[in-house]
Amino acid sequence: MLRIVIEALPLLIAIYAVVDLVQTPEDDVQGLPKLVWLLLIVLIFVVGPVAWLLVGRRSRRLPGMLPRIEDPAAPRPGGRPGQTAPDDDPDFLRGLNRPQPRPPEDDESV
């Protein structure tokens, strides 16, 4: 059983590397074009997938690492500004200085 696992491990790593390569945006690929990385993964069976997993992708985050801190107001890939907290939103802060309308009181005098 252990022999099967040891022989299948390089194949599983190669499949994972190919799937990860296909799903990675072109901007995050570093060093070589995606097609060259694909050929490297497929043709150089053990070294290619390991090279992709270690150095091929620019913004790899390992489990347990903190996420990147980004400016929430910075434009996103879709062109929309990011969400801001209420205390960062100028419209919200301007609204704090306005007097709030009171709800109408029920007239219960009959």
Q: Which amino acid is at 101?
A: P
Over its C-alpha atoms, the chain yields an Rg (Å, rounded) of 27
Question: Tell me: the pLDDT tens digits for 25-45?
Answer: 988 898 899 999 999 999 998
Closest CA relative to residue 73, chosen from 64, 85, 65, 81: 81
Threshold 0.85, pTM exceeds: no
Question: Tell me: the pLDDT tens digits for 10-22?
Answer: 999 999 999 999 9
Distance CA 60, CA 64 (A): 12
